[in-house]
Amino acid sequence: MTFNRLALAVCLLLGFAAISVNTASAKDTKEATKQAKAQQLAPDIPSFVLDNGMQVVVIPDRRAPVVTHMVWYKAGSADEPPGKSGIAHYLEHLMFKGTKNVKSGEFSARIASIGGQENAFTSYDYTAYFQRVTPEALEEMMRLEADRMENLVLRQEDILAERDVVNEERNARTENNPGSLLREAMNAALYQNHRYGIPIIGWQHEMNSLTKQDAIDFYDRFYTPNNAVLVVAGDVDAAAVRELAEKTYGKVARRAEPGERVRPSEPTPRAARRVIMDDPRVSTPSFSRQYLVPSYNTAADREAEALEVLSEILAGGSTGRMYRALVIDQRIASNAGAWYQGGALDSTEFGFWGSPRPDKTLEELEAATDQVIADVLKDGVTQAEVERAQNRLIRSAVFARDSQATLARIYGGSLTLGSTLEEIASWPDDIRSVTVEDVNAAARKYLQLKRSVTGFLRPSPAQEG
């Protein structure tokens, strides 16, 4: 329900013909960055704001007669009131239950009848709805999506039936999945104050008591045009989108003022935490470690970009340090890697993971991971590693350009996570400007055990006492 590397691949529409490989020195890079920044300050992504405050972004993509239509609300599970976990996701489900003008299920049936696709997703920081249809159907999608922004009707029978559906979703994804349960427990241990410590889908006991009124309250507070971003990607032009948007979304009343998105922030982490889950359903033991780090939205200077490069140096497939050390050289792990989740409105995580080979223990795997980290902290990364990582990251961004839906997600996600179009546009330059010193400084600042939680998932039965 969240996705990695939000910012990845965001440059793609901006005419970066010569993005692929960067072999320039840091100094040259800096100069190149300046020039590129100058070009990008007015990126070629039409964007405007309707009178009711709704932001609209148009991403031209004329390769095929198809459009991706997405509405993003700046409201996710971390915006839920205390005790109401799961309401953001539950409301996402209820949004398909009809309006004053459209019967329950009719919107989805209409999309199916014209051969379109649709989906919706809820994250910590946003909730989004999208359809992928032919350009002729865009106006109808906009009319229907605008309609459910203000005219949602919740019937008691839908409320109860859909609560069963989301509970079943939790059962399938979490309750029956020890790895998911461990991740929940690790998040709860990592976040001491922020609601990122509470699962997006909700705690089971709280989901069970969510009411129609809870859904209405969340809807009335956050589902207002001034809290939404419309992203239209595809075979359309901006003028036409503006006209359609004004005819549809433009008629929706601004009915709430959600204001600035300020959530409780994390205290300075003081102590290393560990979470151990023993479950007979586990077949393969696994190790994971997460550190509390800044996101693109909260980081100072280039720290997020430095962490992105660091994760690529550590993870980067079969040449990454984790895989090379643990799987190839030491033969401790059957698989291992690292990741950075840069897309978050507030603090976020830098993670390591691995599964031990059958003849090795989680403790050995952890010690080997700690050695990989210790090597980075002591000797640092190399210039060659940084450049390879930068090239891979920027190249991935180019590849991502190929998917209209991915592009629309990147824009919608980044904008609801606090980025501007300019920041999205400058991402490749920002990645390219990261130096060896930036990476080493970020690693030393953030990869400290007291900032972390370590998870062990073990196949043995739960130990009592």
Residues recognised as catalytic: 92
- Applying CB under 8 A, which of residues 38, 51, 82, 156 lies at the interface with its own copies? 82
User: Could you tell me the two tokens for 193?
Assistant: 């104050």
- Residue 206 binds to its own copies (criterion: CB under 8 A): yes
User: Could you tell me the two tokens for 459?
Assistant: 């196949």
Residue given tokens 């709860």 in the structure block: 188
Indicate the residue among 358 and 465 with the shorter CB distance to its own copies.
465
Shortest Å, Cβ 22 to its own copies: 29
Taking alpha carbons only, the member of 175, 22, 7, 152 closest to residue 90 is 152
- Applying CB under 8 A, which of residues 7, 128, 275, 299 lies at the interface with its own copies? 275
Query: x/- binding map, residues 387-426, to its own copies, per CB under 8 A?
Result: ----------------------------------------
Q: Between β-strands 67-73 and 127-133, what pairing exists: parallel, antiparallel or unpaired?
A: antiparallel
Indicate the residue among 239 and 272 with the shorter CB distance to its own copies.
272
Q: Between β-strands 333-340 and 228-234, what pairing exists: parallel, antiparallel or unpaired?
A: unpaired
- Determine the 3-state secondary structure of 310 from DSSP: helix
Q: Most distant CA pair in the chain: distance in Å?
A: 67
Stretch that binds its own copies, among 29-37, 106-114, 140-148, 204-212 (CB under 8 A): 204-212
Shortest Å, Cβ 318 to its own copies: 24
Indicate the residue among 262 and 384 with the shorter CB distance to its own copies.
262
- Residue 258 binds to its own copies (criterion: CB under 8 A): no
| First-residue to last-residue Cα distance in the chain | 35
Shortest Å, Cβ 407 to its own copies: 35
- Applying CB under 8 A, which of residues 83, 105, 115, 280 lies at the interface with its own copies? 83
Indicate the residue among 181 and 304 with the shorter CB distance to its own copies.
181
Give the count of beta carbons closer than 10 Å to the beta carbon of residue 281.
Answer: 10
- Applying CB under 8 A, which of residues 259, 267, 358, 461 lies at the interface with its own copies? 267
- Residue 128 binds to its own copies (criterion: CB under 8 A): no
Asked if 344 and 357 touch (Cβ cutoff 8 Å), the reply is no
HEC string for 363-427: HHHHHHHHHHHHHHHHHCCCHHHHHHHHHHHHHHHHHHCCCHHHHHHHHHHHHHCCCCHHHHHHH
Q: Which residues pair with 69 in a beta bridge?
A: 131, 232
Shortest Å, Cβ 258 to its own copies: 15
Q: What is the DSSP string of 312-349?
A: HHHHTGGGSHHIIIIIIIS--EEEEEEEE----SS-EE
Shortest Å, Cβ 300 to its own copies: 16
- Residue 259 binds to its own copies (criterion: CB under 8 A): no
Shortest Å, Cβ 267 to its own copies: 4
Shortest Å, Cβ 368 to its own copies: 13
Q: How far is CA 320 from CA 28, 174, 302, 314, 388, in A?
A: 26, 30, 22, 5, 10
Shortest Å, Cβ 314 to its own copies: 13
- Applying CB under 8 A, which of residues 15, 264, 280, 317 lies at the interface with its own copies? 264
Asked if 334 and 355 touch (Cβ cutoff 8 Å), the reply is yes
Stretch that binds its own copies, among 60-68, 104-112, 155-163, 374-382 (CB under 8 A): 374-382
Residue given tokens 């990607």 in the structure block: 233
Residue 359 DSSP one-character state? T
Which helix (H) or strand (E) segment holds residue 455: the answer is strand 452-458
Which helix (H) or strand (E) segment holds residue 216: the answer is helix 212-222
- Applying CB under 8 A, which of residues 277, 327, 415, 431 lies at the interface with its own copies? 277
- Applying CB under 8 A, which of residues 24, 188, 216, 441 lies at the interface with its own copies? 188
Residue type, 315: A
Stretch that binds its own copies, among 36-44, 300-308, 386-394, 443-451 (CB under 8 A): 443-451
Alpha-carbon distance of 354 to 338, in angstroms, equals 9
- Residue 192 binds to its own copies (criterion: CB under 8 A): yes
- Applying CB under 8 A, which of residues 156, 205, 379, 461 lies at the interface with its own copies? 205
Residue type, 398: V
- Residue 185 binds to its own copies (criterion: CB under 8 A): yes
Contact set for its own copies, span 57-76 (CB under 8 A): none
Shortest Å, Cβ 449 to its own copies: 5
Size of the site for its own copies (CB under 8 A): 46
Q: How far is CA 429 from CA 65, 161, 302, in A?
A: 32, 49, 11
- Applying CB under 8 A, which of residues 262, 283, 318, 358 lies at the interface with its own copies? 262
Binding stretches for its own copies (CB under 8 A): 82-83, 85, 181-182, 184-185, 188-189, 192-193, 195, 197-198, 203-206, 262-265, 267-268, 270-277, 370, 373-374, 376-377, 444, 447-450, 462-465
